[in-house]
Amino acid sequence: MLCLISSLVILNVGMSYFPFVWMAVGVIVIYKAKHEKNSELSNLTKVLCILTGLSACILAFYMPSFRMPELSILLSGISIVFFALLEFRPLLLPSSIPIIVAIASRTLRPNLASLVAPLVDLTFKAVSIILSLFIDIQSSGHTLIFPSREGAIMRIGIDTSCSGIWSLGAFTIAMFLVLITFPYIFRKWAVFFSLGFLGTYFLNIVRVTSVCLVGYYTGSYEYVSLSHTHIGWILFTIWMIIFWYFFISMILKEKRARKLDKERENDHNRAINRKG
């Protein structure tokens, strides 16, 4: 996490949701290290894991650029090699998640515009409706046109980066990591996933609307660009803290209930054995 946070400045990558994925991975790794029993790896499994990690490291350096996805692949590959050598079986799967996410990101990016076009349309319509309640706006394609309070004409485009696909992807990966860690909540995951998914997308609507309002009140593209870079991760962080607080509280509550039920069952069985 420290390497990724520092790379936001060193690599000049701007806003990225990869740190959120790594944050979820880090929490899962710590939990598994503390709560799951370890078992030795077979020699074949160890060799395959080490080769996979080394291949990921090599791939990171041979990709066209070296930015956040490539750094994620490199760190993830190092983690896999490290945990394979130490034979920490429970930590291998979560450590491989950043590689999967980074490669998927790089693979989908060239065709992302066409894949998320419906989401861009939906975002544009939602933001237009909200802004029209307060501002006299016009549109051209996916560009919102409106006068600022200072009289300057603002033109703000809604494109792929405004669709919410990255925050939705980060949330989906985090949910997947939670499911492989707490499989006994699988029957309830659909409800929480739906609520979290809708909440994340709604938050993106709030983000894009807020960026437009900054343009309306300041009439400055510099402030619009600044808000576009920072409002997203601030809102997403707050939302994730709130959502996961209630989600983990539910998990702990269910875990306590399962433990209590098991203790009652054991007491009942002991009572029956005594009578026998």
Summarize pLDDT for 205-239 with one digit per residue, the tens. Answer: 999 999 999 999 998 989 998 888 888 888 888 88
The pLDDT confidence band at residue 2, using thresholds 50, 70 and 90, is low
Look at residue 70 in the predicted model and tell me its pLDDT: 83
Contact 93, 70 (CB under 8 A): no
Does 49 score more than 80 pLDDT?
yes
∠ at Cα 11 (114, 23), nearest 5°?
Answer: 75
Pairing, β 138-140 against β 143-147: antiparallel
Look at residue 154 in the predicted model and tell me its pLDDT: 92
Look at residue 161 in the predicted model and tell me its pLDDT: 83
Comparing 68-82, 201-215, 253-267, the range with the smallest average pLDDT is 253-267
Cα separation, 78 vs 177, whole angstroms: 20
Look at residue 271 in the predicted model and tell me its pLDDT: 67
- What is the chain's mean pLDDT, rounded? 83
Look at residue 29 in the predicted model and tell me its pLDDT: 83
Q: Using DSSP, state whether 167 is helix, strand or coil.
A: helix
Average pLDDT of the segment spanning 22-34: 81
Contact 76, 98 (CB under 8 A): yes
Look at residue 276 in the predicted model and tell me its pLDDT: 57
Does 77 score more than 90 pLDDT?
yes
The pLDDT confidence band at residue 75, using thresholds 50, 70 and 90, is confident
Contact 11, 67 (CB under 8 A): yes
Look at residue 200 in the predicted model and tell me its pLDDT: 92
Cα separation, 245 vs 17, whole angstroms: 19
Quote the pTM value.
0.76
The pLDDT confidence band at residue 100, using thresholds 50, 70 and 90, is confident
Look at residue 28 in the predicted model and tell me its pLDDT: 82
Length of the chain as a residue count: 276
The pLDDT confidence band at residue 4, using thresholds 50, 70 and 90, is low
Greatest mean pLDDT among 234-238, 258-262, 272-276: 234-238
- Give 172-190 pLDDT, tens digit per residue: 888 888 887 777 666 677 7
Q: Is the dihedral of CA 116, 122, 128, 131 positive or negative?
A: negative
The encoded tokens of residue 197 equal: 């998914």
The encoded tokens of residue 247 equal: 């989600």
Look at residue 247 in the predicted model and tell me its pLDDT: 79
Give residue for tokens 């026998």: 276
Does 150 score more than 90 pLDDT?
no
pLDDT > 70: percent of the chain: 88
